[in-house]
Structure formats: C-alpha cells, structure tokens
Amino acid sequence: MRKVYLTFSLLVLASMLLGACAAPAAAPVPAAQPAAPTAAPAAKTGGKTIVFAALQGIELDGIKAVIPTWQQQTGNKVELVELPYANLQEKVFNDLQAGAGSYDVIFADDPWFPFMAGNGYLTPFSKFGYTADPDFVQRSLDVCTWPPPFGPRTPGTAKDAKGELYALPELGNVQMFWYRKDLMSEPKDIPDLIAQTKAKADPAKGVYGYVHRGARGNPVVTNFNAWNWSYGGDIFDDNWKVIVNGPKSVQALTDYISLLPLAPPGAANFNADEVGAAMLNGSSLNAIVWPAFNSQIDDATKSKVSGKIAITQFPKGEKQTSQIGNWVMAIPKAAKNPDVAFDFVKFATSADSQRIAADKAGAPPTRKSVLQDTNLQKKNWWFPAEEKALGAATWRPRTPEWNKVEDILGTYLSKAITKEMTPQAALDQAAKEITQVMTAAGYYK
C-alpha cells in the first residue's frame, strides 16, 4: 500500500513539475504589428484558424449564419469563443491590456470602443488599406472611429486629429420604441406618451404602462439615457463638465419616475429580457426595446399580442433620439492572424452577409442598402424606422472612464426610482461622484 501511495505522490509531483516547465497555454506575446496592406487577400492563404471572441446570445445569430460560408470560401476556420456580456468584456479587456493576442477578432459593444481604441489596443483598418464604405450608416461608422469625429475628446487628443476606423459595425442595435397599436396611438411627442400611458394603463386590471428597464447599473442608465437626451439633457457638456444634474435631466428623471406606479411589478429591477417579456406577454402598453427582440413580435409562439405591436422611434422631446448600441468587430493589435481576421470582418459586415443575417436571424443591419432592401422589409417591416432611429441616435460619452461613470449614474438612478432619494438629490450626488472620477482621470486642469 505504501508503495502505491508513494508512486502516486511521485507521479503527481512529476506531472506538476512537468506542467510548470511547459510553456503556458496563453503565453503573452509581444504586440504584433499588423502586416502592411495585403494585396493578396487572406482568402487565398487558407488553412488558418482565427479566434473570435463574441457575445453569447441572439446578437451573434447573424454572424453564426454566415461563418460556414466564409470557412468554405477561404479554407480558414473560425474558433468561436462565446461568452456572456460581463465575461466577454472582462476577458477581452484583460487580453488587450496584457497584449496576449488570445483573440484575432473581437465582437464588442460600442461603449467599450473608447477604452479599446483610446488606449491603443486595436489595429487601425487603414493598415489593411481599407477606407470607409459609404453604404454603412454614418452613425454606425462614427462609433468605430477614434478619436471621435464630434463631441468632446479625451485629454491629450489633439482637437484636429483625424479620426481613423478601428472596427466595422456588424449589428445595428439602436433603441426602438414599441407600443400597443390596438390600445394607443403613436405618441406624437413625450408629453403625449406620458398622457396616453397615464390614461390607458390600469394596473388593477392587469394593463401596465411604460416598462422601465430599472435594474441598477447599465440597464437603468441605458433606459434613462433615451429620456435624458430627448429632454435636451446630457451627462457631459463639450468640455467634459458634468451636467447630468441640470434642470432638463432632472425633469426627464422626474417624468420617467412618474410612470413607475403604472409599470409592471418589479420593473425597478428589470433587465432587457424582462422588458421584452412584459411587452410580448401582452401586459404592457409601451417600452424601449433593442431591435434584437423585433423578430419575436409577430411570432405567435413567442408573442401573445402578435400583430398588435408597432415599432417606431422613441417620441421626440426637445429632440428625437435614442441610444445607439451597435456591436462592432475589431482586431487587437496583438492578434496573431490580423490579415485573415480582417478578411473575416470584411466578409461578416458585407451587404450580402448582413442580408443573410437579417433574413435568417433578424439581425439589425448597419448598411443602408440592407435596411432599404424591399424584399427584406416585407419580413422586417421595422427597417425604415430602424434606419431613422440609427441616423438620429446618440452615443454614450466617448471616454475610457465610461464604466465608472455608468456605475455611479446607475446606482443613483436606482436610488431615485426606488424613492430612496429625490431625482434632484440623486443626480446631484451622481454628478459629484462622476466629477471626482473625471478629475482623477485628468479631464480637468
């Protein structure tokens, strides 16, 4: 018995020593500079595998639909690493910062872009000899450009520095407004939206009004942003001064909260899927929803109110806008196969691929030619409204500090909608803490 134990112990020890001597699986490699623009496309090289870090969920269905075609055409392969939102961001950011080059292509939410491009972690597409295709919706190209083509720029960025493309937009997510056309008319503006909601909602009878996406953090910030911007409010002015506690933002939050008693129970902790469900189960009058849910509206297996929901832009206040949330495809500077990766990005964002993605998976496109495709519009009848919304959309502030700003704002919005603080007090405190973050990050001299 002693011999067995000894042998086992020694084996374990030996295997650990061997393991320690072996090269680590994801050994950091020096940041590889992408090759000069290639005349010969990677499609002709074949036999390579690119690692694609992507979001797990319906947002990826469009790309999944076209991957087999690219693999067949080029002889290359895509190794798909699917991760939930928080894990994807965490792994991608860690990989970029370490320069490990674990991924060749990254599917990124557009608010991550300032952090990724602003810190120099991405490959500019000019290195591949690429120039912007005018078929893309301009606002979608804007979110892939660094420094940002308009609005305030991060400290140290020259005002006249020309923006470069560091990604291409694949998924044209933009907040849309859903309303029950059998129970209310299209609101002509936000006051009309509030008036109709208050008049038609009757929680006692199970008819709820506007569905807040009220969970703390990103959900409530995302939902409130559309209101705030439509009221003419904002988080920063053009000099990064925090203005989120200004009168327009406070009014927006006050009105937003005034609809909460009519919202489905628990809306103060709802996330996107619960908002979609509250509309599709027929219990609520209206909501801000991401287009990924659009294809479920007329699917009787998923919607109890098939044919009764209309999709339009969020009603106008001082201006008509909602939040852009495009998913873009970028290539890390340390990517091991940048040329093949670029070939894949170009293919996945091409008009043909976006047509297939829209047709098979209902993926919202970022190209005008696809949004205006009359054949696709028969099935995706919301495309004209989506194109308008995309064109008028507002982006989240282009700063690498956005995660911290969003967390602070999300905490105090949550306190306001649960009546722990008044709208003014909540936004004052948020403004104070956001200012501290921006000061520490060197935004004010």
Amino acid at 36: A
436 binds other proteins (CB under 8 A): no
Q: Which of 50, 60, 267, 431 binds other proteins (CB under 8 A)?
A: 267
How far is it, in rounded angstroms, from Cα 224 to Cα 212? 9
Largest distance between two CA atoms of the chain: 84
How far is it, in rounded angstroms, from Cα 54 to Cα 81? 6
The nearer residue to other proteins, 248 or 415, going by C-beta atoms, is: 415
Helices 247-258 & 190-200, crossing angle to 10 degrees?
20
29 binds other proteins (CB under 8 A): no
Q: Which of 4, 5, 47, 158 binds other proteins (CB under 8 A)?
A: 5
278 binds other proteins (CB under 8 A): yes
The binding track of 167-206 with respect to other proteins, each residue x by CB under 8 A or -, is ----------------------------------------
Tokens describing residue 400: 């690498």
How far is it, in rounded angstroms, from Cα 198 to Cα 209? 7
Which stretch in 174-182, 301-309, 366-374, 403-411 sits in contact with other proteins by CB under 8 A?
Answer: 403-411
Least separation in angstroms between residue 147's CB and other proteins is 20
Q: Which of 135, 164, 407, 428 binds other proteins (CB under 8 A)?
A: 407
Handedness of CA 38, 43, 44, 47 (dihedral sign): positive
Q: Which of 265, 301, 374, 375 binds other proteins (CB under 8 A)?
A: 265
Per the DSSP assignment, residues forming a β-bridge with 53 are: 81, 106
The nearer residue to other proteins, 41 or 217, going by C-beta atoms, is: 217
The binding track of 110-149 with respect to other proteins, each residue x by CB under 8 A or -, is ---------x------------------------------
How far is it, in rounded angstroms, from Cα 140 to Cα 45? 31
274 binds other proteins (CB under 8 A): yes
420 binds other proteins (CB under 8 A): yes
164 binds other proteins (CB under 8 A): no
Least separation in angstroms between residue 287's CB and other proteins is 14
How far is it, in rounded angstroms, from Cα 280 to Cα 332? 39
SS3 labels along 5-58: HHHHHHHHHHHHHHHHHCCCCCCCCCCCCCCCCCCCCHHHCCCCEEEEEEECCH
How far is it, in rounded angstroms, from Cα 279 to Cα 260? 15
The nearer residue to other proteins, 4 or 158, going by C-beta atoms, is: 4
Dihedral Cα 247, 228, 273, 409, nearest 10 deg:
-60
Q: Hey, which residues between 31 and 90 contact other proteins (CB under 8 A)? A: 89-90
The nearer residue to other proteins, 22 or 39, going by C-beta atoms, is: 22
How far is it, in rounded angstroms, from Cα 235 to Cα 150? 16
Least separation in angstroms between residue 115's CB and other proteins is 9
Measured at the alpha carbon of residue 389, what is the angle toward residues 303 and 57, in degrees to the nearest 5?
Answer: 50
Least separation in angstroms between residue 81's CB and other proteins is 17
Structural element, H or E, at residue 79: strand 77-83
The nearer residue to other proteins, 90 or 237, going by C-beta atoms, is: 90
Which stretch in 7-15, 61-69, 173-181, 338-346 sits in contact with other proteins by CB under 8 A?
Answer: 7-15
How far is it, in rounded angstroms, from Cα 409 to Cα 438? 13
SS3 labels along 321-351: CCEECCEEEECECCCCCHHHHHHHHHHHCCH
The nearer residue to other proteins, 80 or 98, going by C-beta atoms, is: 98
Q: Which residue has the tokens 């991760």?
A: 83
Least separation in angstroms between residue 179's CB and other proteins is 19
The nearer residue to other proteins, 79 or 420, going by C-beta atoms, is: 420
Q: Which of 411, 423, 430, 443 binds other proteins (CB under 8 A)?
A: 411
3-state DSSP assignment of residue 436: helix
Q: Hey, which residues between 373 and 392 contact other proteins (CB under 8 A)? A: none
Least separation in angstroms between residue 101's CB and other proteins is 14
94 binds other proteins (CB under 8 A): yes
Q: Which of 49, 254, 269, 435 binds other proteins (CB under 8 A)?
A: 269
How far is it, in rounded angstroms, from Cα 163 to Cα 13? 55
Residues that bind other proteins (CB under 8 A): 3, 5-6, 9-10, 12-13, 16, 89-90, 93-94, 97-98, 119, 214-217, 264-269, 274, 277-278, 281, 283, 403-404, 407, 411-412, 414-415, 417-418, 420
